[in-house]
Amino acid sequence: MLTQNLGYPRIGSHRELKKACENYWAAKTGHKTVLQVGKNIRQENWLMQKNAGISIIPSNDFSFYDQVLDHSLMFGAIPKRYNEVMLKKGNTELDLYFAMARGYQKEGLDIIAMEMTKWFDTNYHYLVPEFYKNQQFKLFSTKVIDEFYESKQLGIVTKPVLIGPVSYLLLGKEKEAGFEKIDLLKNLLPVYLEVLTQLVNLGVEYVQFDEPFLALDLTEKEKKAFREAYKQIKNAFPRLKIVLATYFDSLGDNIALAASLPVSVLHIDLVRAPQQLNDVLSVLKSDVILSLGLIDGRNIWKNDFEYSLSTINTVVEKIGESRVWIAPSCSLIHSPCDLDNETNEEILTPEIKQWMAFAEQKIAEVVTLKQLANADRGTSAERKLAENIIAQQNRKTSSLIHKSEVKVRINQVTSKDAERLNSFSVRKVKQQNALNLPSYPTTTIGSFPQTAEVRSWRAKFKNGTFSTAEYNKLIADETTKAVKWQEEIGLDVLVHGEFERNDMVEYFGEQLDGFTFSKNGWVQSYGSRCVKPPIIYGDVKRYAPMTLEWTSYAQSLTPKYMKGMLTGPVTILQWSFVRNDQPRSQTCTQIALAIRDEVCDLEKAGIKIIQIDEPAIREGLPLRKAEWENYLNWAVNAFKLSASGIKDETQIHTHMCYSEFNDIIKNIADMDADVITIETSRSQMELLDVFADFEYPNEIGPGVYDIHSPRVPNRLEMIDLLKKAKAVIPSEQLWVNPDCGLKTRGWDETKKALIEMVEAAKIMRNN
């Protein structure tokens, strides 16, 4: 019985990659420094897995920004607008790569970044490949080959990881009409074969093909593409051992398809979809190894060894020990690096920590399960099993987890609690009379730049260097400056800037019972952007108002409207590590009641516009359409529960970003937010088409500039986007705002861009 890992975090245990990349972008270091940091992380990861006892170790799971972007560069799928980047003296392949990810605005060039969207139902973002009719591909970047050679020089023959050819195409977007992206398979496969030829020549034994789309609904044409792709690969390399990796859901009606493909190993996710095991076993070919994804790659709870051993034993009895591998459910890039870095018991108590495992601990769990399943029950393995059983039992009985008052309140919730007093058509008239805003009202999504100075204040406050009074004075001064500046440039609806907040989810979790936190539990969201998800371990309850003090202070500084800024219950759920001992819907309802209390308190304090951000509602959608209705029912209801209980005159906003809304537009309308703001600039307002076709009744703020890129757009660009919006959405429904919050941007670019945005709105009002 062997063990394998599908992928490991690439940010470094202390976010070394983030720091190296950001220093490079700021021209503080050269590209050789960035490359060396990447090499160091790769080698540390390989050696750690080898020393832990992993049999099959991955390579090419490292990325400087995004693995899908890596593949686009490898295949030469580089949009023509980036051609000039390489012509600039001194630019390297790394500069081209980062230009595709972040845009490029220097040396006379002004090039927008590639579109970014969520990786299935995770909070990870990938760069969307751009495809054109009859597009040709060629080997451009040899990263996968170079990294295999690098690991081999280290004495480790790794398993290169590639996104499978069908999934890569399905991840992309057709940028012109008249073809389907899957039709490009015949042009793409020769490059895969060229890459595999070089890898085989270097002595590769296993290659992992990630095909997550096998866990989604597929058309017959897409199924045919899978058969053709793997037939060609097998014919070209009959001795190559292909590991076909599926994850995030069950193979479902694709089980027969997956089982028919000529591969050596089939990996399935038994954390998200344990119910598929028997069906897979019934169709598995006699010469195919089954990789059991038993360790949760997307959450931080310890594996239940007794349960996993029972599963392993069942499979071994049916197909034999030699045809079983043990693995995490998916790549561990969705897990923090190392629980041993959590040494502050005031932040993460020993009682809760004993229930947890981060990526390095999950690697150890994989190996321990193999030892236990192989009856290699030495003192160490037996001790770990005993400790695991005790931890599982402690978690079931801990008084930290269950709160009777929370359960009582949940049981008292009725359907009426999730409804506003009147329909939007009635509320809109009341809000227009109460607020008296101009056409094309301008606002931002909430946060302003969190400079190094602001972050240092928070750090000094937490470590005791600053007193509460000193810290509050600094935050108040920064808030005052932000409010006054917004007034000066003419924004219509202001925000307080969120300088007191570390993260849009963590900030709320810190003030809610049932949440705990890590100090170094960082995971990659996109590029150098890392987040430290809160950990929901028990029943959720609000202690006291969470945002009232700073929102009220900001409102006291201005006669203009100040938005109350909250994170919605579904997003808090999705962007946290969630307890796995009760349905997620129940946890979400608990959070919704806490947010509802906050909304009511803000209204009582005179805040007339309240934004409840739900950027994660689309990403939580199950991969299989048959399961959508159940999820959308409880997710939409949770938002409505949080947003109701207030007067018609109080305007509720919500924000969503980097999502395709076509399939769930009715459900978004059912959320009944008075105003929705969405990301649209990278897609050049394409996302608005679905709102127009549906005749979305409420108000919409399509983002007019991309905040995930440092480039500053001019007002003419924004006017052009607003005209595109006006062509499909009545002007009286339109708001003007950036794509997302401005926390990660610098003040210089933020000020320039928002001034241009306000001027664009003024021009639109006069046209």
Which residues of the chain register pLDDT less than 70?
A: 376-378, 658-660, 682-685
Are the beta carbons of 44 and 57 closer than 8 angstroms?
no
Q: Are residues 357 and 296 in the same domain?
A: yes
Which residue from 523, 516, 532, 576 is spatially nearest to 353, judged by alpha carbons?
A: 516
Domain residues for the domain of 214 are: 2-79+114-397
Nearest to 214 by CA among 182, 258, 184, 181: 258
Domain count, the chain: 2
Same domain for 233 and 307? Answer: yes
For residue 100, is it within any domain? no
- The answer to whether the CB of 592 falls within 8 A of the CB of 636 is no
C-alpha to C-alpha distance for 8 and 333, rounded to whole angstroms:
5
Relative to beta strand 512-516, strand 523-526 is: unpaired
Whether the CB-CB separation of 226 and 248 falls below 8 Å is answered with no
Catalytic residues: 708
224 in a labelled binding site:
no
- Write down the pLDDT at residue 141: 97
Q: Which of 397, 429, 449 marks a domain boundary?
A: 397
- Give yes or no: residues 388 and 431 share one domain: no
The answer to the question of whether 670 is labelled as a binding residue is yes
Q: Could you tell me where the beta strands, DSSP code E, fall in 492-644?
A: 493-494, 512-516, 523-526, 529-531, 535-542, 561-567, 577-578, 609-613
Among 431, 333, 417, smallest CA distance to 126 is for 333
The pLDDT, as a whole number, for residue 659 is: 61
466 & 588 share domain: yes
> Do 317 and 432 lie in a common domain?
no
Residue 19 located in a structural domain = yes
pLDDT, position 686 = 73
Query: Is there a single domain that holds both residue 478 and residue 548?
Result: yes
Per-residue pLDDT tens digits for 292-304: 999 999 999 999 9
In a domain, 761, yes or no: yes
Burial class (CB in 10 A: 0-12, 13-18, 19+), 586: middle
118 is in an annotated binding site: yes
Helix axes 747-765, 468-489, angle to 10 degrees: 40
- The answer to whether 600 is a known ligand-binding residue is no
Residue ending a domain, among 397, 420, 449, is: 397
Q: Is residue 86 part of a domain?
A: no
Closest CA to 356 of 414, 295, 400, 413: 295
**239 assigned to a ligand binding site:** no
Residues 436, 393 within the same domain: no
| 575 annotated among ligand-binding-site residues | yes
* E strand or H helix at 25: helix 16-25
Same structural domain, 379 and 425: no
DSSP label at residue 650: S
* 667-707 pLDDT per residue, tens: 999 999 999 998 877 666 677 788 888 888 999 998 888 88
* CA nearest neighbour of 414 among 669, 637, 610, 129: 637
Predicted local distance difference test score (pLDDT) of residue 36? 98
pLDDT at 462: 86
Q: Is residue 66 part of a domain?
A: yes
Residues 308 and 433 in one domain: no
Residue 679, marked binder? yes
**Token digits of residue 160:** 């290169």
Q: Judge whether 741 is annotated as a binding position.
A: no
Three-state DSSP string of 388-435: HHHHHHHHHHCCCCCCHHHHHHHHHCCHHHHCCCCCHHHHHHHHHHHH
Same domain, 617 and 691: yes
- Give the phi and the psi of residue 609 in degrees, each rounded to 5: -130, 125
Please give the pLDDT value at position 377.
64
d(CA 41, CA 440): 48
| 105 domain-assigned | no
Is residue 74 situated within a structural domain? yes
Tell the residue number behind the tokens 């769930």, with chain if given: 664
Per the listing, tokens 């990786």 go with 119
Backbone angles phi, psi at 89, to 5 degrees: -60, 130
Q: Is 446 annotated as a binding residue?
A: yes
- The residue among 140, 7, 128 whose CA lies nearest residue 68 is 128
Asked whether residue 150 is marked as a ligand-binding residue, the answer is no
Residue 132 within a domain: yes
Q: What is the domain-level CATH number for residue 463?
A: 3.20.20.210
Distance CA 661, CA 700 (A): 13
How far apart are the C-alpha atoms of 7 and 360, rounded to whole Å? 12
Q: Name the residue among 741, 742, 738, 731 with its Cα closest to residue 757.
A: 738
Shared domain check, 368 and 458: no
Same-domain pairing of 479 and 601 = yes
The domain boundary, picked from 343, 369, 397, lies at: 397
Q: Give the Cα separation of 714 and 541 in Å (integer).
A: 45
Task: Output b/e per residue, 189-207; b: 16+ Cβ within 10 A.
Answer: bebbeebbebbeeeebebb
pTM over 0.75: yes
